[in-house]
Amino acid sequence: HGNGTQQIFYARDDVQYVSLHADPVRAYPFVTGFAEEIGTGRGRGSTTNILLPAGTGDDAYLGALEQACEAITAFSPSLLIVSLGLDTFIEDPIADLALTADGFERCGALVGRLGLPTVVLQEGGYDIASLGNNVRRWLHGIGSSPA
């Protein structure tokens, strides 16, 4: 969960923030990222936190990502910035979720189908041996999607 990113845009209605992450009741950052946090003032409704149960694997994560993509499509943004948290990898030492390299590629493909100019910022990911491959697979997925 990008707690700083959420805070920066929390009161804005011209930027949508959507986050898929482990439930903060049991996982970092513990104090923000709850489903009821939807923005404030003009920004009310521009923040969406999608909480995932422990052990969420590829299929369930992709289902949540589809929900996120629907919200993004409804917002009609002109561009997309993805904070790519690779600490969702099944072998990551702090992982609470269980994505595989194949799952990352499928996620990239789903995001690519949005057809938006996209900036990807890599965040999180502490299984150093797999990090490069997971990034490569996600980028391969987004690059293989018809826009």
**Tens of pLDDT along the chain (147 residues)?**
889 999 999 999 999 999 999 999 998 878 999 999 999 999 999 999 999 999 999 999 999 999 999 999 999 999 999 999 999 999 999 989 999 999 999 999 999 999 999 999 999 999 999 999 999 999 999 999 776
How many other CB atoms are found less than 10 A from the CB of residue 29?
Answer: 13
* Residue 100, φ and ψ in degrees, nearest 5: -105, 170
Show the tokens assigned to 33. Answer: 């990222």
Query: Residue 90 sits in which domain range?
Result: 3-143
Q: Which amino acid is at 105?
A: E
Q: Which amino acid is at 109?
A: A
Structural domain count, the chain: 1
**Cross-strand pairs, 19:** 49
Output the pLDDT for position 146: 72
DSSP letter (8 states) at residue 115: -
Output the pLDDT for position 114: 98
CATH number at residue 51: 3.40.800.20
Cis peptide before 29 (omega within 30 of 0): yes
Q: How far apart are CA 113 and CA 126, in angstroms?
A: 28
pTM of the model: 0.94
Q: Is 113 exposed, middle or buried (0-12, 13-18, 19+ CB in 10 A)?
A: middle
Output the pLDDT for position 77: 98
Output the pLDDT for position 147: 60
Output the pLDDT for position 145: 74
